[in-house]
Structure 1
Amino acid sequence: MRRDQFLKSLAALAATGTLPLGAQAAGANLKMMIPANPGGGWDTTGRALGKALQDAGLAASVQYENKGGAAGAIGLAQFVNAAKSDPNALMVMGAVMLGGIITGKPPVNLSQATPVARLTSEYNVFVVHAASPLKTIKDVVEQMKKDPSSVKWGGGSRGSTEHIAAAMIAREVGVDASKINYVPFRGGGEATAAILGGNVTVGGSGYSEFSQYIDSGKMRALAVTSPTRLKGVNVPTLKEQGINVEIGNWRGVYAAPGITPEQHKALTDMVTAVFRNKAWIEALEKNSWTPALLTGKAFADFVDQEFAMLRAIMAKSGMI
């Protein structure tokens, strides 16, 4: 049976509640570890995935747990230690966690968990408060050239893609990247509050986290880190403003350590099937996420490559 035919069959079985026994067992009552505080990209991704799994009949229930801090390392440690061999456990993760592991060197390693799938890709947007005197990213650069510490960059944990992007911007315009003033937050909600409260100069995150504030006029978007402008979004890229920086932010899910190959396959099939679900497709569109499904060895190899790439960028930027 071809892959597309298999996925259609699986989705149809899910809709009627007649999934194969292994998939039913894996998806009966899921536990979703979200290693970040509420309101951020991982939280939105985890809850959107859980809703779509239930909507498709692939999960009877989903229990969420938010455990923020240390770029996801605190939640990762709890997941690895508490969910061992649990076929019903999933953890949201992504590029931010890799950066945090590189900079923080936590005692728990991502390799202790089981890779399932990459889900989405998203580019970062840099914003300022609507009342900020800085109107363009060039204004930010000019202020940073005068005094790097005078520009407070706010975003995710140390080592996040927005932190790396800020360092890359500094290097590109001739500023010592090790001198940038970066303020890390444990979740998107905290970062948003800091921007709206005027506690940081520039904020960075996935476009979906700031879109409502950009649309309402409370934030001004300066630039996106994508190679070309985002579809339906009138925000210039860094490249078209003369700053040769491009970096994406992807998110995925891991399973618990010690699950069997059969349980791993059931979870992978379940997550793969959700890409046919209306609720998930709507979530992709609403949040400006690009579907980026990758599973199996290809996903595991991708994570290894990302670790190497991020480590090289961070070393060049003086972050490690």
Structure 2
Amino acid sequence: MHFDLADLRLFIHIAESPSLTQGARRAFLSPAAASARIKALEGQLGSRLLYRDSRGVELTPAGERLLQHARLIMRQVDYLKSEFASNGAETAGHIRIYANTTAVTEFLPEVLARFLAERPAVTVDLQEKLSRDIVRGVLDGAADLGIIAGPVEATGLQVLHFSTDHLVLAVPLGHPLASEQRVTLRQTLAYQHIGLHDGSTLLSFLRDHVERLGETLSLRIQMSSFEAICRMVEAGVGIGIIPESAARRHSRTMQLATVELDEPWAMRERSILVRELEALPGSVRALIATLRPDVALLPVSENTDNLLTEQP
């Protein structure tokens, strides 16, 4: 059985697009030519790969399996090109990262700014994802690496712990909870919260824990960043649960009080997820070394036995 790399890349484009026409456009083919290539691929595999209707295309179970393998194959092809780039394996290439809310908004911008400034030929695609989607993306080869917080169960992935952060409660000065040393999540539910946007890992994480208490999270307003949440808290609009690193930074310029959360999940271990560290191109390994300089000195765990829980 012979696979054409161009056909596999075309299939990925179509699978990631709402329609065959748009997928064909991404591959610089006419819809008719793209359709003929997909039909030939289906004939070679002896399986139907796409359901086609007036609304677009949808992957069949066989198509889902092929997409996983095709992504891995094409990522390895990209890795090969990167490794043999004329300007050096560590200074060229494209890196796709799936990360949680805190990583995307808090520490990765600063890390990536330094990293990319030193490597003009490296490009990065950084996407905010939920924890389960981060794990799935790395497993499927859709992402080179994932950054996640909390325990993870992902057989086949290597897990590199690199830092710890805490969730804290930010309240306005003079708030009834400001004088408390520690509060539980249940105590905070008596007040209106300022939250992140729908789809953020932090909001999903908090809603899950509130539901386990049999309560509801009263959101007065949702913001797009931790800085915006802190500004609302400072103005007395409500209270917010945010990473300690964000609270510490913004409290330097805003009138805020922070209170520790008396919850076991408030302390989070941050981890990098990869399929196989040794097989990654130089640019990706260089980024991992930036996040965790001792990565080459310590053994890598294959997976953990803990249940994956959504962590921001």
Under a length normalisation based on structure 1, what TM-score does the superposition of the two structures give? Answer: 0.48
Q: Which structure carries more helix by proportion?
A: 1
Under a length normalisation based on structure 2, what TM-score does the superposition of the two structures give? Answer: 0.49
